[in-house]
Structure 1
Amino acid sequence: MTPVLLAIACLTAVTLGYGLLCAVSPFGDCRRCRGFGYRLTTDRRGRTRPGRLCRRCRGDRKRIRFGRHLYNIAARLHRDGTR
């Protein structure tokens, strides 16, 4: 195989894998709070305690994946265009 065909095959595999991931699990953990729902703080003794709610996810602990967001936009555009 030529390197170009190998690169195209690898990119296709990665794209299909990410598409499958977005279809099976459309939501991932929040990147800022790492899925805890709040920001971890430490007290005076150095123990970790729950702090305020995460501003990005507002305590929901999940975020929508980028690929699923693009799919939702495309599906909405198709649905509105074919009415």
Structure 2
Amino acid sequence: MTLALLALGALLVASLAYTVACWAAPFTTCSRCKGLGKRTTWLRNERPCQACKSTGRRVRLGRRIHTRASALHQRGTR
């Protein structure tokens, strides 16, 4: 019983920490271009990154979920 409560507490702390991180810094570096805003092709040509639209930053997954849930709540309460 105590091991289950310990695991539940650790999961709660981890999810709370991720929630605070998404609130404080909703953007992260793009995983495709590594934050450079451009990608190299197999011929070594540089092209703008399509995933982040050449900004080098993307919205975190948790922030995207929060935004969609907020929009759904707004549409449902009108």
TM norm. shorter chain > 0.5: yes
State the TM-score, normalized to the length of structure 1: 0.82
Gaps of 5+ in 1: 42-48
Larger fraction in helix: 2
Of 48, 54, 57, which residue of structure 1 is paired with 2:49?
Answer: 54
Q: After TM superposition, which residue ranges in structure 1, 4 or more long, deviate above 4 angstroms?
A: none
Larger fraction in strand: 1
Q: In structure 2, the residue corresponding to 1:34 is in which secondary structure?
A: coil
CA RMSD of aligned residues (A): 1.9
Counterparts of 1:40 and 1:29, CA distance in 2: 17
State the TM-score, normalized to the length of structure 2: 0.87
Gaps of 5+ in 2: none
Larger radius of gyration: 1
User: After superposition, where does 1:18-33 map in structure 2 within 5 Å?
Assistant: 18-33=18-33
How many residues were matched structurally?
Answer: 76
